[in-house]
Structure 1
Amino acid sequence: MTAIERLAYRRVVALTAALFLSYLTVAMSLPAVPIHVVNGLGLGNAWGGLAVGIAFLSTIRHAPVPARGPTASAASCACSAA
């Protein structure tokens, strides 16, 4: 393995680890959302399910589509129009 291949391999491993940890931090808080909505706010189970559904739909909406690339999805986001 050449030096360039080793550097590329390290970068891929680092990127994979960073992506895994970022998804893990988002996913760890997801089970707490319906518990907070039902127990903390005193709303019903339907509202807790709706809260999780909204979180899921926002994840799907803001995920980049591989065929278009990450810039096409970022361009449609209102928050990136600064």
Structure 2
Amino acid sequence: MLSSAKIMAGVNYLFPHKYLMDSDWDKISMGAIPLFAKADIRLAFETQLLRLVAPLNDTHALRFYKEMKTGRLF
């Protein structure tokens, strides 16, 4: 839950294109909370992180995907 809160706060306060996104970030982030609560294993948690970051379409998110692919996330 802490990781998801950090991502949500980072987007809310630091992401300059939040209001230019194709989808509503507030709905995406609020919808992700129950999914993070249900994540009982690391793979489910990391999958939810990817789903949360995917709508950002940002180069920093691309780095996150590459780290997930190589297993160097944590």
Q: TM-score, normalised by structure 1?
A: 0.30
- Larger radius of gyration between Structure 1 and Structure 2: 1
More relative contact order, 1 or 2 (CA 8 Å, 6+ apart) = 2
